Amino acid sequence: MSNWGVPALYAAGAIAAGLTIPRLESGILPGFVSPMSLSSAIAIYSSISSGMIALTSIVFSLTFVMVQFSATAYSPRLVLWIARDPVMSHSLGIFIATFLYGVAALAGVDRSGSGRVPFVSVLMELALLLASVGMFIALIQRIGLLQINRMLVFTGDQGRRVISTIYPSLSSQVVLVAQEGLGDLPCTQTLIHHGGPRSIQAVDVAAMVSLAKASGGIIESVVSVGDTVVELMPLLHICGTRELIPEEKLRNGIEFGNQRTFEQDPKYAIRLLVDIAIRALSPAINDPTTAVQALDQIEDLLLRLGQRYLEIGDYRDSEGKLRLVVPFPTWDDLLRLAFDEISFYGATSVQVLRRMNALVADLSRSVPRERRPAIDLWDARLKSIIARSFANDGEERLEASKEDRQGLGAPRHHSSAK
């Protein structure tokens, strides 16, 4: 359901309840009335309704301004996750429901000149008021995520969750099977995308493996999770099948959306953190400390990825036969995503370069031996960037070559420039 559909349902329900509950009370429970006077009930309904509509307009006007400001300060792709948080739509819905129910329930006060105030209707309005207070507190808490530190932690948490979900640990036993590939299997079918640009959000591995096993072939995904597909772009190659697989079933195995998600995309969290870092390094913002804080989260994700089995793109059936091939990023791909743009835009920032030196050194000490050559290449590249950026200032070159986890804090004295 869309974000605006939720408040619309709350509004419709509030109007229906405000018009029907007093009628039901007068017919079913005529003696169940509130002891308060008519004037008091009318004052309560009126004050709650008028107060809620004013609160709603003020709170959400400020909320939208903050979200828009954060979108320009951090990343529009990241802030969109906060703007689409269910708390936003449900809080707006409850605020509107409290206002509309109070207005509609006023018709039940002194119904047909009875001089009575329906008791349940009053309780409903008070319950909605308490719910509005609770949602207001929850909304303030969500808006607090727009603080840069909390935004970085939120993004890092999403990345840590997907890493622990899709990648097995290197320490766990990995069953080594024959690494057969597609070989010379004929391509019997190709799934083509039709429609506007869409992002690949997830692949239903179990469903795809089941389809491939039933047809006796192998499904090869041409695109990876996180890619944007356009008209006439191939999505899947199906090889070696005995019969054609219905395209509808193949399409149902791929989840499309308007934007990337964290669900099966380990690159997305790093992408967002890099976006925040390079935006902070832009001349308009010039905030290298934020870039350093983003590198803290990036380092944690890379350390976790370094301890994981990344070669997970081949999926097999219960008999161990290859049935599905999905491209996933390699260790080199992840390092390039994490370092390339930050090292380019932060090439003249001593603070950023010192933090990147410490990051590379810590990674080299922590990851398995087979993944260190890629890190050594980035270590050499950082030295080259420093030499080029500070070619005319030996003292600055020496400072930028140090390892410092704070950027400009307590450097490790064993580091030296070359």
pLDDT tier at 332, thresholds 50, 70, 90: very high
* Residue 33, both tokens: 């009335």
Confidence of residue 171 (pLDDT cuts 50, 70, 90): confident
The pLDDT of residue 248 is 94
What does the pLDDT read at residue 32?
60
Q: Which amino acid is at 155?
A: T
- Are 307 and 369 in contact, with CB atoms under 8 Å apart? no
pLDDT digits (tens, 9 = 90+) for 269-291: 999 999 999 999 998 888 999 99
pLDDT at 120 over 70: yes
pLDDT surpassing 80 at residue 43 = yes
Query: To which residue do tokens 């704070």 refer?
Result: 406
Half-sphere exposure of 43 (CA within 13 A, CB side): 5
Distance CA 151, CA 173 (A): 35
Question: Tell me, what's the pLDDT at 416?
Answer: 44
- Indicate whether 337 pLDDT > 80: yes
| pLDDT at residue 356, rounded to an integer | 96
Tens digits of residue pLDDT in 2-42: 567 888 999 999 989 888 887 777 667 666 666 777 787 78
How far is the C-alpha of 210 from the C-alpha of 207, rounded, in Å? 5
Amino acid sitting at position 218: I
Two tokens at 283?
Answer: 């001349």
Strands 187-192 and 234-239: antiparallel
Contact 21, 118 (CB under 8 A): yes
> Looking at the DSSP assignment, which residues form a beta bridge with residue 192?
234
Task: Please check the confidence at residue 215 and state whether its pLDDT lies above 80.
Answer: yes
Number of H helices, E strands in the chain: 14, 8
CB 221 within 8 A of CB 203: yes
The predicted pLDDT at position 247 comes to 93
Average pLDDT over residues 320-334: 93
Range in 80-89, 305-314, 399-408 the model is least confident about = 80-89
Task: Give burial (CB, 10 Å; 0-12/13-18/19+) of 121.
Answer: buried
Report yes or no: 302 and 338 within 8 Å, Cβ to Cβ. Answer: yes
For residue 139, the model assigns a pLDDT of 86
Q: Residue 418 pLDDT > 60, yes or no? A: no
Distance CA 277, CA 345 (A): 9
Backbone angles phi, psi at 316, to 5 degrees: -120, 160
CB atoms within 10 A of CB 367: 19
Mean pLDDT rounded to a whole number for the chain: 86
Which of 102-116, 228-242, 375-389 shows the lowest mean pLDDT across its residues? 102-116
173: pLDDT strictly greater than 50: no
pLDDT at 360 over 50: yes
The reported pLDDT for the residue numbered 270 is 96
Question: How many percent of the chain have pLDDT more than 70?
Answer: 89
Backbone φ and ψ for 138, nearest 5 degrees, come out as -65, -35
Sheet containing strand 254-257, edge to edge, reads 228-229, 198-203, 254-257
The β-bridge partners of 220 are: 237, 325
pLDDT number for residue 210: 94
Residue 328 has what DSSP assignment? Answer: -
Distances (CA, A) of 227 to 201, 313, 325: 8, 15, 16
Supply the pLDDT for residue 104: 83
> Alpha-carbon dihedral of residues 176, 178, 183, 184, nearest 10 degrees?
-150
Q: What is the pLDDT of residue 178?
A: 46
pTM over 0.85: no
pLDDT at 177: 46
- Greater pLDDT, 333 or 173: 333
* Least-confidence region, from 139-143, 356-360, 372-376: 139-143
Q: Quick one: pLDDT at residue 68? A: 72
Residue 48 has pLDDT above 90, yes or no: no
